[in-house]
């Protein structure tokens, strides 16, 4: 079946540094990628939607200069948290939609801790 | 290992039929449970969630789910589906700290008019 590989699964970084999270579709072409964030005790929050080859569409309240999304190919999308701060600590997960995929496929998620 | 299983990959129903989608989880400690829906071309939307309290949870659009701890289940139900309920449904679980979220494989529901 369709698989989305998300790396890293856990990352700890220092405040002020940048962290890149990758999502790769392994056996299908992901034309659309959704990036979500979950705060403790809350449900997922959509951060942005990206289509291959075009700029991501960010949800209201999400800083596009802080959360850089790149979807340069049909099999890879990246989320870079720039100048991370402790309040960026969260669980980030991607979801891909593409031709040949069984509906939407989720990555395994990334737990980011900023110290 | 933490896991969430949705055994029905595809479900086809006629309008007005009753719906029950299965969700079983394997989680250590206190678990938080969610059901999400994703309509074609759209992002995930939360249907309902369970953190604690009454194990019968009512969500939006007439959906409900029951947390049965002894069965490690959190099945989603709706008494009478509509064509507009055609979508993909995801069950998800996290631990009490919300550190990691694990999704089931999803169930694609098609409701025939």
Cβ contacts from A onto B, under 8 A: 56
The whole-number pLDDT of residue A103 equals 62
Q: Collect all residues of chain A within an 8 Å Cβ-Cβ radius of residue B38.
A: 103-104
Mean pLDDT of A85-111: 82
Minimum distance, in Å, between the CA of residue A39 and any CA atom of chain B = 7
Average pLDDT over residues A86-102: 81
Instruction: Please judge whether A38 and B34 are an interchain contact, meaning their C-beta atoms are less than 8 angstroms apart.
Output: no
Residue A42: name the closest of B19, B56, B51 by CA.
Answer: B51
Top-confidence range, A43-47, A75-79, B77-81: B77-81
Beta carbons of A4 and A32 less than 8 angstroms apart: no
Q: Best of B43, B107, B110 to disrupt the A interface by mutation (most A CBs within 10 Å)?
A: B43
User: Distance (Å) from the C-alpha of residue A41 to the closest C-alpha of chain B?
Assistant: 6
Question: What pLDDT is recorded for position A15?
Answer: 97
Q: Are strands A90-99 and B3-5 parallel, antiparallel or unpaired?
A: unpaired
B18-77: per-residue pLDDT in tens? 999 999 999 878 888 999 998 877 777 889 989 889 999 999 999 999 999 999 999 999
Tens-digit pLDDT profile for residues B1-11: 778 999 888 99
- Give residue-wise pLDDT tens across range A33-44: 889 998 766 667
A93 pLDDT band (50/70/90 cuts)?
Answer: very high
Question: For residue B97, what pLDDT is reported?
Answer: 57
Residue B99 clears pLDDT 60, i.e. is over it:
no
Is the predicted pLDDT of residue B108 greater than 70, yes or no?
yes
**Both structure tokens of B84:** 């507009």
Using omega within 30 degrees of 0 as the cis cutoff, is the peptide bond preceding A8 cis?
A: yes
Q: What is the mean pLDDT of residues B91-113?
A: 82
* CB-nearest partner of A111 from B9, B100, B103: B100
Per-residue pLDDT at A45: 84
Residue pair A8/A16 in contact (Cβ under 8 Å)? The answer is: no
CB B73 within 8 A of CB B23: yes
Please name the residues in contact with A55: beta carbons below 8 A apart, sequence gap of 6 or more.
none
Query: Is A100 a residue whose pLDDT tops 60?
Result: no
Whether A91 and B98 lie within 8 Å, measured CB to CB: yes
């Amino acid at each position: 079946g369709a698989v989305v590989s998300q790396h890293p699964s856990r990352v700890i970084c220092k405040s002020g540094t940048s962290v890149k999270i990758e999502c790769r579709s392994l056996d299908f072409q992901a034309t659309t990628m959704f990036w979500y964030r979950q705060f403790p005790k809350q449900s997922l929050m959509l951060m942005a939607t990206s289509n291959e080859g075009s700029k991501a569409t960010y949800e209201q309240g999400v800083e596009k200069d802080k959360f850089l999304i790149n979807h340069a190919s049909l099999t890879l999308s990246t989320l870079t948290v720039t100048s991370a701060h402790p309040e960026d600590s969260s669980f980030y997960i991607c979801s891909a939609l593409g031709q040949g995929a069984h509906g939407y496929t989720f990555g395994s998620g990334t737990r980011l801790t900023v110290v | 290992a933490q896991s969430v299983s949705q055994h029905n990959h595809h479900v086809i129903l006629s309008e007005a039929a009753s719906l029950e989608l299965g969700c079983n989880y394997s989680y250590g400690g206190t678990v938080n449970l969610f059901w999400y829906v994703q309509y074609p071309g759209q992002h995930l939307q939360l249907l309902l969630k369970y953190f604690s309290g009454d194990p019968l949870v009512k969500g939006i659009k007439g959906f409900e789910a029951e947390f049965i701890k002894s069965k490690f289940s959190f099945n989603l139900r709706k008494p009478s589906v509509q064509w507009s309920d055609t979508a993909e449904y995801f069950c998800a679980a996290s631990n009490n700290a919300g550190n990691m979220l694990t999704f089931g494989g999803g169930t694609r529901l098609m409701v025939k008019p």
